[in-house]
Amino acid sequence: MKKLFIIILLFPFLTLAQSVTIDPSSSTSGILEVKSNSKGVIPARMSSAERRDIPNPAEGMIVYDTTQKAMYVYSGNQYKKLIAEEESIVIDGIKDGPIASNNQYVIIGDPTFNYNTGRSTLLKLNSSNEWVIEAYLQATDAAAGARFGSAVDIAGNRIAVGASSAGGKGAVYIFEILNGTWVQRSKLTASNGVAGDYFGSSLDLENSGVAIGAPGVVSAPLNITGRVYYFSRTTIQGNSIWFQSIIEAPNPNIDKNFGAKVVMKDVNLYIGAPESYAGRGITYLFERVNGIFTGTHLFYDSDNNPNGKIGRALAISDSLVVIGLSNVNYNEVEGYTFVYSKSGNTTIILNPEIQGGFFPKALSAYRSNILALHGKNIYQNDLFLVSNEEQKNTYIRKINANTFGHYSVTENFTINNKFIFYFLSDLISSEKLFYTKY
């Protein structure tokens, strides 16, 4: 009765001093109602660390996180961020394809355009906070069958576009802004390339260079081993000069499709070989010291599950490396998304909204935010946004086909500082690019 007595005493004080009325709710379903036309209700406020240190949080507990500037509710086994569901905006006329973004631009590849000649579409954020088409990029030596747009990336005011079949071997084109216009400045090819290498089918661009996958390279008898190239960049009299390094697969008789996926941050280069070890897959970490790449770590499934395809889904940000593990075993489908921090610690996303019969098909990351596409098949894909602040995975939002009728989320999506970009397809002919704030 002591607590009830104190509350009763506070009511008239609040009513008189702050023009706020607190009384039993007039609603048939409410127990308490707060009325005011000039004041608000302030919940408990605390930092992320303080919120996570609350012992035995009760289900339904709500706090305001001053670190994240957002409300959180405890759902019984984890905190969920409360956000307004932002409207998804569609951009018509852009075909589903490889996509990458920074805070100002989005680049989308269309390798099948005009008899597989290919082109890439560049979007820019305008002053009205809308994404509009800025330019269409094409190679100066465009040719049918080159598949320009097989892979794309952007870093600062520089864009890399892969053409995995250009000249039969593949090439990567570098675009830069010159007098306000995007122009082709360089064309990169492998010094030892041959037909069928698919050089440029994967890539990761940084300000200092670009990592390029050639997963079709045959370097062992009857084995499509793959190879990765790194082109470092230096500037001489305003022109970019590129120097090639070659990273060979550590186990050419076992590794397969080495370079199918490449992601790089600073001196760390992660290379996926998802078909290695009879489809189990493996991901290698190489570190670049004094211009030389040395293998330091490898990531594999210790349970040796068939068709794990580790290295198929990879993503990297300033603070995280995200690696997907699929396991398709007869009629059972399961998978995990491993999250590695810069400090080397590892956690696994065990959120029931993500796990439980689904496997990761593709990943993207920005700072502590992770986008993971999970699904059982092409008809059942869900896109999850998860925050990994201080290595604590918090489910934020799900985008799925059910929201838009018969459409399915595709494997091409990206995230930047404010927006998520993703494609929906009806699996027959219609594809749409959407973006939404998060």
Per-residue pLDDT at 139:
98
Band (26; pLDDT cuts 50, 70, 90): low
- What is the token pair recorded at 205? 């661009």
Per-residue pLDDT at 1:
33
Per-residue pLDDT at 351:
47
Percent of the chain with pLDDT over 90: 53
Lowest mean per-residue pLDDT among 170-179, 189-198, 238-247, 423-432: 423-432
Better pLDDT: 17 or 8:
17
Per-residue pLDDT at 346:
59
Q: Of 52-66, 172-186, 325-339, give the range with the top mean pLDDT.
A: 172-186
d(CA 205, CA 311): 18
Amino acid at 39: K
Interval 293-307 mean pLDDT: 85
Lowest mean per-residue pLDDT among 44-48, 116-120, 396-400: 396-400
Residue 28 pLDDT > 70: no
Sign of CA dihedral 3, 9, 13, 14: positive
Sign of CA dihedral 29, 33, 38, 43: negative
Collect all residues with Cβ–Cβ distance below 8 Å to 255 and sequence separation of at least 6: 225, 226, 249, 273, 276, 282
Residue 292 pLDDT > 70: yes
Mean pLDDT of the chain: 84
The gap between the terminal CA atoms of the chain, to the nearest Å, is 44
Lowest mean per-residue pLDDT among 3-12, 45-54, 220-229: 3-12
Per-residue pLDDT at 300:
86
**Count of alpha carbons within 13 Å of 384, Cβ hemisphere only?**
25
Q: What is the DSSP letter of 166?
A: G
Band (110; pLDDT cuts 50, 70, 90): very high
Per-residue pLDDT at 392:
66
Better pLDDT: 321 or 199:
199
- What is the token pair recorded at 399? 């985008």
Per-residue pLDDT at 31:
74
Band (86; pLDDT cuts 50, 70, 90): low
**Count of alpha carbons within 13 Å of 64, Cβ hemisphere only?**
7
Per-residue pLDDT at 332:
44
- What is the token pair recorded at 136? 């269409």
Band (76; pLDDT cuts 50, 70, 90): confident
d(CA 347, CA 221): 38
Interval 119-143 mean pLDDT: 96
Q: What is the pLDDT of residues 333-350, one digit of tens each?
A: 566 777 887 665 556 554
Band (366; pLDDT cuts 50, 70, 90): very high
Domains and CATH numbers, the chain: 2-82 (no CATH), 89-437 (2.130.10.130)
Band (27; pLDDT cuts 50, 70, 90): low
pTM for the model stands at 0.82
